Amino acid sequence: MGLKELAGNNLGLTSLDLRKLKICFLLADRIEIVPTETIEKKYNLRAGMINQIAEQVSWLLESAYKISELVSDMVNNSQHITILDHMLTNLELKNFLKALALQVKFGVPKEAIGLANLHVPNLGRVYIQRLVQNDLAQAEKIRQTDIEFLKKILPEKIALELKQVVAEKSSTSSTPIQEVDFFAEVKLEIDGSTVKNRWKVVLNQIQHVLSYCSFKYLLKLVEAVYSKPEGWIHKLDLDEGDNQAKYIYRLRKELSLKAEEVIENNGAGSYRLNLKKEEVRVNKENLVRMGEEEIKRLVGKL
């Protein structure tokens, strides 16, 4: 039953109910990769408003997922469990909320979340749909696909960039390729751009600007994630002297982090990022172009 049929049906729906249903139908179309132009005409909304609605709903779904995680922790430490607690801690429900938040955010079906999460420039919903239709929603399949075939599906530049991103994810991991979560959600993104002589990074979808010292520390922590099995780096490898704790504190402050959030300390003088390789993206080319010798040296280790 469509929106018009519901509006004409004697179900006692209010105008507010119909507006909510309109959003649900709109987002369902968006997830199924209905062209934006079609959605605009169908719902009489401009693309900017559609994107804004998607972002807001995605944020609410992500919040619901985070709440379910918090409740899980509370339930694990409590002897009093309600029916609601059971619902919120249900693994299937949590996975559904997390996946749906990403589907709504990117406007793609579940199997294409990973493709969208690669953030390949200009790889939009239409091109993602072409990949899905050709059974190329997984990184391993893309890696094994001949570039000439990809060029028949995508513009040449996008095809080459997609191949490069997938290859980089493969080459930077010591885990066997079939076990790598290529499409893990990116939590930390370092794109190499600056804002008024401060370095821009995105952590958990929130932009921060770091001082040079903090940015250098962050890159060293990232390098440890890439190169060390447990990701730990000793304070003397971070910097000389005895000021490492002060600079780590400053980095946490600039990233708006609480103690031990994302940046961990093992109590024996070592630090690490509580992130997997697949959750970190670094734009090496941009960083090298910035011309900072120490930054280029650090990037060379990634």
Q: Which of 266, 169, 251 is nearest to 203 (CA)?
A: 251
- On whether both 113 and 101 belong to a single domain, the answer is no
Q: Distance between CA atoms of 204 and 16, rounded to whole angstroms?
A: 33
Are 263 and 280 part of one and the same domain? Answer: yes
Question: CA 243, 244, 247 angle in degrees (round to 5)?
Answer: 90
Q: What is the DSSP letter of 259?
A: T
Does the predicted TM-score (pTM) go above 0.75?
A: no
What are the pLDDT digits (tens) for 133-157?
898 988 888 988 999 999 999 999 9
Last residue of a domain, one of 77, 107, 137: 107
Q: What CA–CA distance (Å, rounded) separates 5 from 145?
A: 45
Of 144, 162, 184, the residue that ends a domain is: 184
Tens digits of per-residue pLDDT, 86-102? 455 566 777 788 889 88
Q: How many domains does the chain have?
A: 3
137 lies in the same domain as 204: no
pLDDT in tens, 57-86: 988 988 888 877 776 655 555 555 454 454
Domain hosting 169: range is 109-184
6 lies in the same domain as 99: yes
Q: Could you tell me the CATH number of the domain that includes residue 217?
A: 1.10.10
| 149 three-class SS | helix
Are residue 195 and residue 294 in the same domain, yes or no?
Answer: yes
The sign of the CA dihedral 57, 103, 27, 21 is: negative
Verify that 261 and 207 share a domain, yes or no. Answer: yes
Answer yes or no: is pLDDT of 7 > 80. Answer: no
E strand map for the chain: 188-195, 198-203, 206-210, 233-234, 263-265, 270-273, 280-282
The residue that leads in pLDDT, 263 or 297, is 263
Note whether 76 and 1 are same-domain residues. Answer: yes
Among residues 83, 107, 131, the one where a domain terminates is 107
Please list, in sequence order, all residues whose beta carbon lies within 8 angstroms of the beta carbon of residue 79, skipping any fewer than 6 positions away.
Answer: none
Claim to verify: residue 273 and residue 213 sit in the same structural domain = yes
Burial status of residue 257 (CB atoms within 10 A of its CB: 0-12, 13-18, 19 or more): middle
Do 295 and 192 lie in one domain? The reply is: yes
Question: Could you tell me if 193 and 285 lie in one domain?
Answer: yes
- pLDDT above 80 (res 183): no
150 & 204 share domain: no
At 120, list the tokens. Answer: 């390949």
Q: Cα torsion for 51, 52, 56, 59, to the nearest 10°?
A: 50
Regarding beta strands 280-282 and 198-203, do their DSSP bridges make them parallel or antiparallel, or are they unpaired? unpaired
Q: pLDDT tens digits, residue range 161-174? A: 999 888 876 654 44
CATH number of the domain that residue 42 is part of: 1.10.3380.20
pLDDT tens per residue, range 213-249: 999 999 999 999 988 888 899 999 998 888 999 999 9
| Distance, CA of 128 to CA of 109 (rounded, Å) | 10
Which of 291, 204, 246 shows the shortest CA–CA distance to 238? 246
**Are 75 and 134 found together in one domain?**
no
